[in-house]
Structure 1
Amino acid sequence: MTRSHMTMTYLTLDGVTCVLPDGRTLFSDLSESFDDRHTGLVGGNGVGKSVLARILAGRQEPVRGRCVRAASVHYLAQRVADDPDESVATLAGAGDMIAALERIEAGSTDQCDFDAVGDRWTVREQLRDALDAEGLAHVDARGPTHALSGGEAMRVALLGARLHAADYLILDEPSNHLDHEGRLALMQWLRGWQGGLLVVSHDRQLLGPMERIVELSSRGLRSYGGDYAFYEQVRREERQAAERALDARKTERKRGEQALREQQERQAQRQARGQRDASRANQAPILLGGRKSRSEGSAGKLKRQQEITRDTLSQRVAEAARQVESEAPLSVLAPNATHVARRRVALLERVELPFVRGAAGTADLVLMGGQRVGVVGSNGSGKSTLLQVLAGRVAPRGGHVDVPVPVAWLDQRLSTLDACRPVIDHMREANPAAAEDALRLRLALLGLDADKVAVPAAQLSGGERLKAALALALVADPPPQLLLLDEPGNHLDLASLEALETMLQQYEGSLVVVSHDEIFLDRLRLTDRLSPTPAGWRMTPW
């Protein structure tokens, strides 16, 4: 559907600065306008995208500067069901209106209740119809959100965004917890949205149709006047240009140092020639002393000039190197798994999966060395339970399980991390024989510096915790020959996601990965697709 552009500015940032409670500046002096173009906000984990989204939505005030809103804004937070006792209606943004309506029906004449309802006298019926249309007919609008799955909670919150009569939508990671069908439905709805839109996301499929990409980094806020493919192209060209500039600066320094050496050699030759001439000439000692002083002074001046030139050349190289570092993607070191092509790494025989109903509740599966399997299917179909059984974390209700190789398992809740312990302690425990420097290098390559690895895991952001759990899974001794990953892309920023893709492409062991991210799965060089069907679990070529 083609959207009609009004070229209207909805939100304006004017010198906005945010300082964290510990005194650190998260971002400063941000100025940008957001109009009717559908815009994707991207950036590394921890740079402040969610904070900026809250400031734009009026949910948080900046320390300095201001945000001017010329339209009504509906905001959807990343964690949509933080309060488990919150009602479904409240999650959908209709709780206050329905409560006010019920008070009016009970006899209230309070003007505040009438203001809350406005002209939405049929809000209960609208919410009920919307839940039914969304395939959530079983959901009680008055019930608590803790009865919902993560995917259902996100769908209810998105439903509220549809019902809200706002001019501008701000959605923070709206595709989190949605299955493939849910993501497609979200994208279709957003394509038809005629108002302003800002989507904070790492979901490349969701970002693809955006009309503009804005990137938040330590250098500020930068707008790219095109879709996500254009953004990727520009960033790739900038990275290549930064690398070329670094090579040029290194060559410049090499030539400069060579010129300085030649200059120094010529100066030394002149000094030696002058000393020879002076020794042969019949000159008074005072004249000889004066000539020597002038020569030494000239040599000292030349040395100082050369030191300044060397410093300047080195500074140029250092600046170019910093630019390359800022453009370079993160790295993930793959474990050294032994690749045995036909060795069996897992066997499930008539295994009855707990908590799973229907045909998908029973699984027969054989996994061989080097086999790379993508597990796909709707939420609640048993994908995570299947991985837990393979990992030995959950006992089956029946059947035979045999996994004779070392396994690394990464679940959605990151349960391998103790929230009270520092990441580096987890790493030492997983591989006691590894050198401390090697363990810290793995974490640093994931963007976790010395300060981050020394604090309890609970103090890390969601993306940082996922990186730590990934590093923990990959550093184990003996190295894993079977990797089990349950939605590993959740909460990872784009650079980290690309690094993970590169690592998994290089990994030679067996891989089973659950994901709803089709772009991510397509880049992993998978061999097979495993999905639940009415006839049970089915393996087909990828």
Structure 2
Amino acid sequence: MTHTHLTLDDVSYLLPDGRILFSHLNMVFQPQRTGLVGRNGVGKTVLARLLAGQLQASAGRCLRSGPVHYLAQQVAASPQTTAAGLAGLQAPLDALARIEAGSVEARDFELLAERWDLRQRLESEWRRSGLEHVRVDTPAQTLSGGEASRVALSGAMLSGADFLILDEPSNHLDRPQRLALIEQLRRWPRGLLLISHDRQLLAEMDNIVELSPQGLASYGGAYAFYAAQKAQQQARAQSLLEQRKQERLREERALREQRERLERRQASGERGRREANQAKILLGRQQERSEGSAGKLRQQQDAARERLAQAVRDAAGQVERAAEIAVHAVPQPRAAPRALFTLDAVELPFVPQATRRISLSLGAGRRIGVIGANGCGKSTLLKVLAGQLPPRAGQVRVQAVCAYLDQNLAGLDPARGAAEQLLAVNPAAGEGRLRMLLAQLGLDAEQASRPSGQLSGGERLKAALACALYADPPPQLLLLDEPSNHLDLPSLQALEAMLRGYRGGLLVVSHDDAFLDALELDGWLEAGPEGWRLRDGAGPQGGKD
């Protein structure tokens, strides 16, 4: 029996503009659960498509022992697409229908490949995944984004592939859907390569592989082991960098003292020559020798400085770039009223009956995670508090200075730069200081001036955070709707540290349990079949998961 594997053999890939995305990658992916992590833009999706055979390497080879099924981040569906088509099984199911109607075409039998129970297996997989209402002829456009992703994954589970490659499969899934996804992946018996920033999913992996500008590195173990190894690696790299910097300082001091000694000897020799009664030709030769010695020393010292600088650059290259969002300089809000807001018999628009009505008062400094299934009204609640949607009934009183970031960051003007928009909400700070704050958040001068509509998702989040946190006055209540979307792991961890440093009131909607756990929340507002329920506690289920 052939050993199942995916192999990268000295693989390089050039972007259409000629830039090198990555080069000389070598790795064998074994038939186990492997998580692929790395910063946004480093090339994870391109690498996945190379491994799946959807792209060709610029150099080197991608070897596959058998069929590979690749599931992209975005599941595309036309108006005519059915759930069967979304699962990638429309052709064999159509062939089955024609055979059942009497077809004897050889092509139909080839497409079906003796999978006579394919329809029953697919619908059984959907039932096991909590998609009981889906049938093979269900129009794909009637499915939510999360449902569509899991329908496509169900088809992948029945593909018979040796390897599944999944690109961010938990994007936009709510908490129950994420748990269902985990159960689906646990049932997969063969090779799996998972691209994700979802730490809950990565905790299920047998091995973590990281793609960085330095190449591919395999860490072994699940996410917790990877994180510990990574922290130790970066601590050693940082220590080496500091050591090289100190060595450069010591050597620079020694070189300076050496140069000063030579200059003193030259000055003394010059005085001696002026006082000595020697022929001009002899004095000239002595001066030439002295200048030659000085020139040779300058060359030696320049070479030594370059070696020292290169040693520092080499050490710095082993230290990852600072996290994309700074963890310091978070403004503290002014004294807040005792109650940040009060909802009195409020009826929310456009939400199910069970969670339509809510009465709630939130005290100053409370940090609350808002959880519940997709469509239950979490985002609508934040929009009502932010004044972007009127309630159907009841009274909304918001006493605090409030800042709201929705999932699409609609508060940013796509035609204006972050620096211009930040100056508009805090004109007294001055443009220079505000640009420095943006730089601390990871937006350089060019990014801060570029129209925000041209920025990446992570860059737009940083711009929106800046306009919220550095406004004058700073917010006493921060409303965040899925702020961890679009962020890679280092940026996500930096955002967590930043929000831990914010001491105002916080109401944050997220389906990412690891993200919520990291924010040091003191309570949970849960939307469920019984309506809204506010409770104290450390974890989304009333305690640590």
Contact persistence 2:210–2:217 (CA under 8 A): yes
- Shifted more, 177-186 versus 244-253: the winner is 177-186
Q: Match of 2:473, SS?
A: coil
1:525 paired residue among 511, 520, 527: 520
1:437–1:111: structure 2 CA closer, same or farther, 3 Å change rule?
Answer: farther
Once the two structures are overlaid, the 10-residue window that deviates more, 362-371 or 328-337, is 328-337
| Partner residue, 1:126 | 121
The corresponding residue for 2:373 is: 378
* Cα distance in 2 between the residues matched to 1:429 and 1:58: 49
Report whether the alignment pairs 1:135 with 2:165: no
TM-score by length of 1: 0.90
2:362 matched to 1:367? yes
Match of 2:343 among 344, 348, 351: 348
User: Residue 47 of structure 1 aligns with which residue?
Assistant: 42
Structure 2 partner of 1:257: 252
User: CA 1:28 to 1:117, structure 2 compared with 1: closer, same or farther past 3 Å?
Assistant: same
Aligned to 2:182: 187
Q: Does 274-283 or 225-234 show the bigger shift?
A: 274-283
Which residue of structure 1 aligns with residue 315 of structure 2? 320
Q: Which residue among 506, 510, 516 is the counterpart of 1:511? A: 506
- Answer yes or no: is 1:308 the counterpart of 2:303: yes
Relative to structure 1, the CA distance from residue 119 to residue 332 in structure 2 (aligned partners, 3 Å threshold; closer, same or farther) is: farther
The question of 1:212 aligning with 2:207 is answered yes
Does the alignment pair 1:68 with 2:63? yes
CA-to-partner distance for each residue in 1:319-344, whole Å, 9 max, x for gaps? Answer: 43444353656425665242536532
Please state how far the C-alpha of 1:531 moved relative to its aligned partner: 0.7
Question: What does residue 164 of structure 2 align with?
Answer: 169
Q: Which moved more, 1:513-522 or 1:351-360?
A: 351-360
Q: Distance in 1 between matches of 2:146 and 2:75?
A: 10
Partners of 1:7 and 1:487 lie apart in 2 by 44
Q: Which moved more, 1:300-309 or 1:483-492?
A: 300-309
Bigger mean CA deviation after superposition, 217-226 or 422-431: 422-431
1:396 to 372, 387, 391: 391
* Residue type of the alignment partner of 1:520: F
Query: Match for residue 403 of structure 2?
Result: 408
- The answer to whether the 8 Å contact 2:32/2:192 transfers is yes
Residue type of the partner of 2:126?
Answer: L
Give distance in 2, aligned partners of 1:500 and 1:7.
Answer: 45
Q: Kindly tell me: are residues 526 and 408 of structure 1, through their superposed partners in 2, closer, same or farther at Cα, counting changes over 3 Å?
A: same
Letter in 2 for 1:155: R
Q: Distance in 2 between matches of 1:342 and 1:30?
A: 57
In structure 2, the CA distance between the partners of 1:241 and 1:77, relative to structure 1 (3 Å rule), is same
Instruction: Write out aligned runs for 1:207-286 (5 A).
Output: 207-278=202-273, 281-286=276-281
Q: Is the 8 A contact 2:331 2:470 kept in 1?
A: no
Structure-2 change in CA distance of 1:351 and 1:512 (3 Å): same
- Aligned residues of 1:481 and 1:510 also touching (Cα < 8 A): yes
Displacement after TM superposition at 1:457 (Å):
4.9
Give aligned-pair identity as a percent: 55
Is 2:536 the counterpart of 1:541?
yes
SS at match of 1:17: strand
Between 1:115-124 and 1:81-90, the stretch displaced more is 81-90
| Aligned residue type for 1:222 | A
Aligned: 1:474 with 2:469: yes
The residue type paired with residue 293 of structure 1 is: E
Deviation at 1:158, TM superposition (A): 2.4
DSSP 3-state at the match of 1:271:
helix
Does the 8 A contact of 2:77 with 2:86 survive in 1?
A: no
Structure 1 match to 2:88: 93
Contact 2:33 2:191 in 1 (8 A): yes
Q: CA deviation at 1:489?
A: 1.3
Deviations 1:26-57 (A, max 9, x none): 22332221111211000111112112112212
Pairing of 1:15-30 with structure 2 (within 5 A): 15-30=10-25
Match of 2:154, SS state, is: helix
Q: Secondary structure of 1:324's partner?
A: coil
Distance verdict in 2 for CA 1:428–1:100, change over 3 Å = farther
Query: Which shows bigger deviation, 391-400 or 404-413?
Result: 404-413
The answer as to whether partners of 1:390 and 1:403 remain within 8 angstroms in 2 is: yes
User: In the alignment, is residue 146 of structure 1 matched against residue 146 of structure 2?
Assistant: no
> How far is the alpha carbon of 1:362 from its aligned partner?
0.7
The alignment partner of 2:307 has SS state of helix
Q: Aligned with 2:269: secondary structure? A: helix
Q: 1:381: Cα distance to partner?
A: 2.1
5 Å-filtered alignment, 1:152-163, equals 152-163=147-158
From the superposition, tell whether residues 445 and 281 of structure 1 become closer, same or farther in structure 2 (CA, over 3 Å).
Answer: closer
CA distance, structure 2, for counterparts of residue 413 and residue 259 of structure 1: 57
TM-fit CA distance, 1:461 = 4.2
Gaps of 5+ in 2: 538-545
Task: Name the amino acid aligned to 2:96.
Answer: L
Structure 2 SS opposite 1:210 = coil
- Residues 1:228 and 1:431: Cα distance change in structure 2 (over 3 Å): same
The correspondence for 1:492, drawn from 487, 495, 515, is 487
The amino acid of 1:324's aligned partner reads V
Deviation of residue 506 (structure 1)? 0.4
| Separation in 2, partners of 1:112, 1:468 | 55
1:201 counterpart = 2:196: yes
Cα 1:452/1:88, change in 2 over 3 Å: farther
Q: 1:391 to 1:7 in 2, by over 3 A?
A: farther
- After TM superposition, the structure 1 stretch with the greater mean CA deviation from structure 2, 148-157 or 195-204, is 148-157
Q: Distance in 2 between matches of 1:410 and 1:517?
A: 17
SS at match of 1:215: strand
Q: Give, in whole Å, the separation in 2 of the partners of 1:108 and 1:449.
A: 64
Q: State the SS of the aligned residue for 1:170.
A: strand
- Whole-angstrom CA distance in 1 between matches of 2:267 and 2:362: 79
Deviation at 1:197, TM superposition (A): 0.7
Residue 301 of structure 1: CA displacement?
Answer: 2.2
Bigger Cα displacement from structure 2, 506-515 vs 215-224 = 215-224
- In 2, Cα distance between the equivalents of 1:212 and 1:281? 79
Whole-Å Cα distance in 1 between the matches of residues 176 and 38 of structure 2?
26
Question: 2:237, 2:196 → 1: CA distance?
Answer: 26
**Aligned pair in 2 of structure 1 residues 123, 417: CA closer, same or farther (>3 Å)?**
farther
Question: What does the per-residue CA deviation read over 1:431-466, in whole Å, with 9 as the maximum and x for residues that have no partner?
Answer: 555544545445544544455555555554444444
Q: 1:445 to 1:147 in 2, by over 3 A?
A: farther
Match of 1:3 in 2: none
Query: Which residue is equivalent to 2:540?
Result: none
1:84: how far off?
Answer: 5.7
Q: Is the 8 A contact 2:334 2:474 kept in 1?
A: no
**Using the alignment, how far apart are the partners of 1:409 and 1:85 within structure 2?**
38
The residue type equivalent to 2:189 in the other structure is: Q
- How many correspondences in the alignment? 537
Shift of 1:537: 1.4
